[in-house]
Homo-oligomer: A and B are copies of this chain.
Amino acid sequence: MGTLLIHGGRVLRPDMTVVDADVLVDREAGDIVAVGPDLSGDETLNADGGLVIPGLVNAHTHVAMTLLRGHADDKPLDRWLREDIWPVEAALEPGDIEAGAELGVLEMIRSGTTAFADMYFEIDRTAAVVERAGLRARLGHGAISAGKSEAAARADIEESVEMARRFDGAADSRISTAVMPHSLTTVTPDLLSLAAEGAADAGVPVHYHANETADEVDPIVEKRGRRPLMWAQDLGLCRESDFLAHGVHLDGDEIDLLAETGTGVVHCPASNMKLASGMAPIQRLLDAGVTVGLGTDGAASNNDLDLFDELRDAAMLGKLAAGDASAVAAPDAVRMATAGGAAVLGIDAGRIEPGAAADLAVVDLDAPHLTPDHDLVSHLAYAVNGSDVRHTVCDGQVLMRDREVLTLDAAAVMARAERRARDLVARAD
């Protein structure tokens, strides 16, 4: 397959400086081989006037929920789930999952995301989409106890472990997995422990929602006599590779626990605002040395999968949460969206340097909203949006060239999603 040369652009380095440089990629190995001036390669991707950045990592989403984008908004979380989301999810067919996953993956490739973590159902369908679309994913079957018999809830956790075993390493290792019990409150304690054991046995992480709302934290504190993450650790969670979504309501001891155990946190600022969940203490997490990535959460609570929005939201909301305009500075936000997310997902990417995975995006800087170029890292945090991405490369393969996605038929994907979404909502009514 030879080499791919990303030519003529500027390159964002891991230390957040920017240099004029070419990037040479080994397409067979899927790695970056060299970064520097005047390189040559077998095939060329023109990055003139562009900024080469690591592919963004969307470290927590429910990708098929793109089918429900705009289906219901502006309701309190419990009513929204009960009245709008769960009835529709109960009517989901595997073909819906595949159509929604395709739509979401298309949107992510177009906006420069090259890896994501997904918690949902029918993960064979999502895995098939990831395989042909060409990006990376850590997939898991979301298992939930609420509303199920004990046997059914146990079977659900066992399915999560079984799916994690089956798909780990799929798509030439672009797919990895995790056991995904839904949350500390929607899965029973013994099944949380079973999930942890199953994951340890399968050699994969556990991923779950935690400390998202005060309504979720307070009952645990009351019933268990300790903070949710201390209790989770007693159940066998919070191992080094594990990662949790949200972490909005955390106390100092929990932050220390996250740092000490190496548990990753996926910050979902848009979802936290839209569902009025609260403001995560992101600067405190960073100060404590916690590994933090960013996630869009599902499109039904966002409502898009453009990680540049999360980058901006993280920098903005982090300041408001800290009451300090110097908190969550632009380079920190960019790091969370790239290297931070890669670390959370356990992939050797998120940086443009030899040896790292060739997962990258080229941002077109030739636009009024990105002029003048005082500081390109500031632009990435505050002014770039997904539509500014010109090329997307993952594992050494070009997934999008000049804004045209090569691995999916965009028009067909959108038409199928539109049709599936209408039928789904009609069926659920």
Q: Which B residues are in CB contact (< 8 Å) with A66?
A: 368, 371
Instruction: Let me know if A225 is at the binding interface, CB within 8 A.
Output: no
A329 touching B74 by the CB < 8 A rule?
Answer: yes
Given A326-B76, A418-B373: A316 and B273 within 8 A (CB)?
A: yes
Q: How far apart sit A317 and B275, CA to CA, in the bound complex (Å)?
A: 10
Q: For A68, give the chain B residue with the smallest CB separation.
A: B374
Q: Could you give, for residues 286-327 of chain A, a 1 whenever the CB lies within 8 Å of some chain B CB and a 0 otherwise?
A: 000000000000000011111001001101110110111111
Distance of A412 from chain B, by nearest CB (Å)? 12
Distance of A67 from chain B, by nearest CB (Å)? 7
Q: Which B residues are in CB contact (< 8 Å) with A132?
A: none
A382 touching B73 by the CB < 8 A rule?
Answer: yes
By Cβ-Cβ distance, the 3 closest A-B pairs, closest first, are A372-B421, A387-B387, A70-B378
Instruction: Let me know if A232 is at the binding interface, CB within 8 A.
Output: no
Q: How far apart sit A272 and B274, CA to CA, in the bound complex (Å)?
A: 17
B270 touching A316 by the CB < 8 A rule?
Answer: yes
Q: Which B residues are in CB contact (< 8 Å) with A322?
A: 276
Instruction: Let me know if A375 is at the binding interface, CB within 8 A.
Output: yes
| A383 in complex: contacting residue of B69, B325, B326, B369, CB < 8 Å | B69
Q: Which B residues are in CB contact (< 8 Å) with A103?
A: 368, 371
Q: Could you give, for residues 316-351 of chain A, a 1 whenever the CB lies within 8 Å of some chain B CB and a 0 otherwise?
A: 110110111111111000000000000000000000
Q: For A317, give the chain B residue with the smallest CB separation.
A: B273
Q: Which B residues are in CB contact (< 8 Å) with A413?
A: 368
Q: Could you give, for residues 369-399 of chain A, a 1 whenever the CB lies within 8 Å of some chain B CB and a 0 otherwise?
A: 1011111101101110111100000000000
A70 touching B326 by the CB < 8 A rule?
Answer: no
Copies of this chain held together in the complex: 2
Q: How far apart sit A328 and B274, CA to CA, in the bound complex (Å)?
A: 10
Q: How far apart sit A401 and B304, CA to CA, in the bound complex (Å)?
A: 26
Q: How far apart sit A383 and B274, CA to CA, in the bound complex (Å)?
A: 13
Instruction: Let me know if A279 is at the binding interface, CB within 8 A.
Output: yes
Distance of A359 from chain B, by nearest CB (Å)? 20
Distance of A387 from chain B, by nearest CB (Å)? 4
Q: How far apart sit A322 and B278, CA to CA, in the bound complex (Å)?
A: 11
B368 touching A107 by the CB < 8 A rule?
Answer: yes
Instruction: Let me know if A71 is at the binding interface, CB within 8 A.
Output: yes
A320 touching B379 by the CB < 8 A rule?
Answer: no
Instruction: Let me know if A422 is at the binding interface, CB within 8 A.
Output: yes
Instruction: Let me know if A231 is at the binding interface, CB within 8 A.
Output: no
Instruction: Let me know if A85 is at the binding interface, CB within 8 A.
Output: no
Given A368-B413, A371-B418: A378 and B330 within 8 A (CB)?
A: no
Q: Which B residues are in CB contact (< 8 Å) with A306?
A: 369, 385
Given A320-B279, A368-B410: A70 and B325 within 8 A (CB)?
A: no
Q: How far apart sit A395 and B225, CA to CA, in the bound complex (Å)?
A: 65
Instruction: Let me know if A110 is at the binding interface, CB within 8 A.
Output: yes
